[in-house]
Amino acid sequence: MIYPADLNNNYYIGVTATSSGFDNEADYRRLDSAINHFKDLGYSVITTPNVRTNIKGRSSDGRTRAKELTELIMDSKVGMIFAASGGDFLVEMLPYLDFGKIRDNPKWIQGFSDTTGLTFTITTNLDIATIYSYNFSSFGMENWHSSLFDNLRILEGNDFLQKSYDLHQDGYYPRITGLEEFVLEKKVEWNTHGEVDVRGRMIGGCLDCLLNIVGTRYDKTAEFVERYCEDGILWFLESYSLNSEALIRGLWQLKEAGWFRNAVGFIFGRPAMYEMIYDISYEEAVYSVLGDLSLPIILNADIGHKPPQFTIINGAMAHVKSKDKKGTIIFERR
């Protein structure tokens, strides 16, 4: 596994809109606030032109998005790259990416949700670690949550024990000023069947997006899990809008495609917009597909769309523990 160089103040942070861009005053204010926060910490930020555009859910066409990402990849002044935000159409840029240039110029690339199409593909195709955590827009809140500082520390090369948070946001709230912080309203409670203590090489992302990758020319997952079979594969997964039917069918599809061979466990984030069809709970849906594997499963972990979230090093070795509805994770870069 290749780990990009640690971020430091000698390098710029690059931001590009791999999916949606920004198109209103609140979002522009949030973007500028994030840039200023990093400036206060000694980091300069470069944004590509498509960050401040958005047409029909796209910052620009797929070819342009690939071009602007590649420009940051090739810029020796840029130390890492954030996706500006999530969205729906990142996959449109994949055919235009030069994966050889990414392979030859490894840099931290970070984002979550729709950014899965980029981070998961890079890690499984090129053996380059990526970061699954906040898109750049989250850093525009007026006062950073501690998880944002943790995120930056990990980018700077500090691997430490991340502990589950006390409270999480459960709903979605409109941005009025653009500087809104998390609305921490519900107790964090990891859900397991007994105590969990598991180690493995971590890989995963947003299920909604992974289901678009399976079976395509970008799907090198079966080869990846075989390449690292001795480490065991520790899957982290979360869903945005999958209902119980879609979740069951989706997990079944990935299982049948061989993705879960050599798995040692599963960690699921809090689902964003889950709907129970046939009165099937999220837990029932997951266990109906994965239960026969007799592997540890964690639900409602601090991953994904209901913040705060951990900083996940996609492709790194991880040690995860969970007991009494709380949990911890620490990464090892080997």
Per-residue confidence (pLDDT) for residue 149, from 0 to 100 = 98
Q: Do both 62 and 23 map to the same domain?
A: yes
Structural domain includes residue 3: no
Are 44 and 89 contained in the same domain? Answer: yes
Q: Tell me how far apart the alpha carbons of residues 229 and 203 are, in angstroms, rounded to a whole number.
A: 13
Q: Are residues 68 and 189 in the same domain?
A: no
Predicted confidence band at 70 (pLDDT cuts at 50, 70, 90)? very high
Calculate what percentage of the chain has a pLDDT beyond 70.
100
Mean pLDDT for 30-59 is: 98
Residue 91: give its domain's CATH number.
3.40.50.10740
Query: Which CATH number is 199's domain given?
Result: 3.50.30.60
Confidence of residue 307 (pLDDT cuts 50, 70, 90): very high
Identify whether residues 126 and 188 lie together within a single domain.
Answer: no
Give the residue from 162, 196, 228 where a domain finishes: 162
Residue 301 lies in a domain: yes
Q: Decide which of 162, 191, 206 is a domain's last residue.
A: 162
Q: Give the pLDDT score at 163.
A: 98
Q: Is the same domain home to 213 and 288?
A: yes
**pLDDT by residue (tens digit) across 161-182?**
999 999 999 999 999 999 999 9
39 falls within a domain = yes
Q: Give CA 71 to chain center in angstroms.
A: 22
Is 4 contained in some domain? Answer: no
**Residue 136 contacts residue 112 (beta carbons within 8 Å):** no
Q: What is the per-residue pLDDT for 152?
A: 98
What rounded mean pLDDT belongs to the chain? 98
Same domain, 149 and 229: no
Q: Which pTM was predicted?
A: 0.97
Q: Does residue 7 fall inside a structural domain?
A: no
Domain count, the chain: 2
In terms of domains, do 153 and 278 share one?
Answer: no
Q: How confident is the model at residue 28 (pLDDT cuts 50, 70, 90)?
A: very high
Is 6 among the domain residues? no
> Does the residue 290 lie in any domain?
yes
- Picking from 137, 162, 187, the residue at the C-terminal end of a domain is 162
Q: pLDDT, tens digit, for every residue of 200-239?
A: 999 999 999 999 999 999 999 999 999 999 999 999 999 9
Do residue 321 and residue 259 come from a single domain?
A: yes
Q: What percent of the chain has pLDDT over 90?
A: 99
DSSP 141: S
State residue 333's pLDDT score: 98
Question: Phi, psi at residue 74, to the nearest 5°?
Answer: -85, -10
Domain that holds residue 177: 168-332
- Tokens representing 24? 């209103």
Question: Which residues are paired to 313 by β-bridges?
Answer: 131
Same domain? 17 vs 135:
yes
Find out whether 74 and 266 touch, Cβ atoms under 8 Å: no
> Is 94 among the domain residues?
yes
